[in-house]
Amino acid sequence: MRRVLQTKHASPEHSAVSWPKEGHMENLRKYGAFRYIREIVFANAEACDADRFIALALSQGGLQSLLKTDSSGITPHLEEFEEKIRPVFGEKELAVDFCYRMRLGVK
């Protein structure tokens, strides 16, 4: 099922289309242009401080859509989230594992 992501800032013709991630491989297969399709996952440990961790959490698509439409209901929860994260990190950086997915198609 596809969703059209629309905010109060974008007109319908400038809205993004969101496809469920679990359907990406099937969409590539249905496209029919590739003889070989594979998904691979990379993992990488990176240093992360509280600011980076909070910014990463705030950058997630679903949350961004909510923030662009109406952030009033979630703002207190975001403040609480930040208040809980900062003591975990303190002034130090911690190693955080990030995973990246890549879908490959060979014609």
pLDDT (tens, 9 = 90+) of the chain, 107 residues, equals 444 444 455 555 556 677 777 888 888 889 899 999 999 999 999 999 999 999 999 888 778 878 788 777 888 899 999 999 999 999 999 999 999 999 999 99
> What's the domain range around 70?
3-106
- Give how many domains the chain has, as a whole number: 1
pLDDT in the model for residue 14 = 57
Rounded to two decimals, the pTM is 0.62
Say how far apart CA 15 and CA 45 lie, in whole Å. 34
Say how far apart CA 76 and CA 90 lie, in whole Å. 21
pLDDT in the model for residue 44 = 94
Q: Which two tokens stand for residue 19?
A: 């496809």
pLDDT in the model for residue 10 = 52
CA 70 to each of CA 3, 18, 73, 103: distance values in angstroms, whole numbers, following the listed order:
19, 19, 7, 34
Say how far apart CA 94 and CA 87 lie, in whole Å. 12
